[in-house]
Amino acid sequence: TFDHYCGLLGTCIGERNHCRFWWFLFFHSFALAYLLRIVASGFRDTRAEVRIWFDFNTHALLATVVICMLLVPIGCLLFFHSFLALTNMTSYEFLRANKISYLEGTKDFDLPFSRGLFRNLHVFCIEDGFPARCSGQVWEPHEWHIEQANRDSDDIWNNIWENKHWSCC
């Protein structure tokens, strides 16, 4: 299943490499956060007026700004793709649900493809990617059948945003 095209990597991200893309985002976020910590340790406390502090710390301050400008969007992408992995969705389905024919009749955050947290992570990490290929599994597309959410149900786990006890809208 196609998710999106990543211009930075120059490749499509989809069902078979989405997990590796998540790890790419994770390691880049970790590396930038670690780099930010290293740069922060380089600030010198001059205990003097502001102008002297800027003279000593200009490079570290500029490096901190650049690192934060990289870390914030990459960190946000990491959190967004973590949400997608936990709910078994693609960014295309999440962002364009009202324009996709097979998602007609669903509301925001219905989570139509979710099979539960652990099953979603198993599919995301093992069944659709590199481990499956290493074990000799042949990938085949499969058709999804969406069950309509029962909004009068006590089952809050399959529809946490709108159920018998709670409605966000």
Residues designated catalytic: 6
How many CA atoms does the CB half-sphere of 96 hold within 13 Å? Answer: 10
> SS3 string of 96-140?
CHHHCHHHCCCCCCCCCCCCCHHHHHHHHHHHCCHHHHHCCCCCC
* Residue given tokens 């910590």 in the structure block: 37
**Rounded distance, CA 153 to CA 150, Å?**
6
